[in-house]
Amino acid sequence: MTPLEKLAKHYISNRVVCGEYQASIRRIARGCRKLSTEAVNDYLRRRLDEVSTITVRNERGIILTLWVNGYHAGLVDEMPRGVMKIKARREATRAWTLDEVKAVLSNAAKKNGFRMRSGADLGSFLTAWILLGYESGARLGDCWHFRRDHLDGDSLRWTQSKTGDPICKVLTPACLDACHEMLRSSPDGTIIGWACGKRQATRVMKEHLDDCCLPGTSKWLRRSGATHIEMLDPGRARLHLGHRSVGLAEKAYLDWAQIRSKTPRAPSLVD
């Protein structure tokens, strides 16, 4: 086990973090391996050729967190010094328009009758996933763990795995019907998680979006719902997404090209 992997193990063992974040920490620790300024900077330069600057900046933050935590725990002798800074370059966030989301949903019904390996109906699965993802604004991992117990009348109540914060959403009758349709065949009480694993689901959704001639991934359900809420009620997207940080929704989740189309403009001063 490398020095950074040991720090990762210590960090994870002393905190409650979700499984996806644990996996990211372990992957980064394996990739960087050595614990020195030179080794970390070499790792970051290599990653800049492989992934986006935003991803590299996030990985830099995880490495520094492990290092500083190790220092305070007495596992390393020095605090990090001289680690290169990463200037993130964000591309404009894109989301589906309301008509595009409706098209993704309506095309799912065309796949009714097709059976997945689990026995789940493909059309019912896609319909429930699309409606749940769009209306709840939940992350993929949370969507996969939604169970019958999370439904309370017309509401969906759960604790976000990433933040540990409770959240509640009122669902439309169509979404509730889709959830109950999936639950009728669920062997373990999950709403959509029983149908397939997340990796297979990603492939299924990609094929579905290709059939719809649309870009994006299932993540666009979350950002599209947030964007459309912001267009109707400015300032509410953060609540929909369950963010603690003010400004995160505006920075990384909202499609401003759509929002600005609904933003009032000052009257013209020239006739």
Output Rg (C-alpha) for the chain, integer angstroms.
Answer: 22
Q: What does the pLDDT average to over 241-259?
A: 91
List the domain boundaries for the chain.
Answer: 3-72, 98-260
- Crossing angle for the helix pair 219-232 and 122-136, to the nearest 10 degrees: 40
Residue-averaged pLDDT of the chain? 93
pLDDT digit string, tens, across residues 67-91: 999 999 999 999 999 999 998 777 8
Tell me the sheet residues that pair with 85.
Answer: none
CA torsion through residues 242, 248, 254, 259, sign: positive
Residue 264: pLDDT over 80: no
Residue 176, Cβ neighbours under 10 Å: how many? Answer: 19
pLDDT of res. 221: 97
Whether this model's pTM surpasses 0.85: no
Instruction: Please give the CATH superfamily to which domain 98-260 belongs.
Output: Intergrase catalytic core (1.10.443.10)
Residue 246: pLDDT over 90: no
Of 206, 237, 212, 235, nearest to 223 by C-alpha is: 237
The counts of H helices and E strands in the chain are 13, 3
CB 65 within 8 A of CB 77: no
Of 12, 13, 38, nearest to 25 by C-alpha is: 12
Q: Which residue has the tokens 């699965």?
A: 125
pLDDT digit string, tens, across residues 123-176: 999 999 999 999 999 999 999 999 999 999 999 999 998 888 999 999 999 999
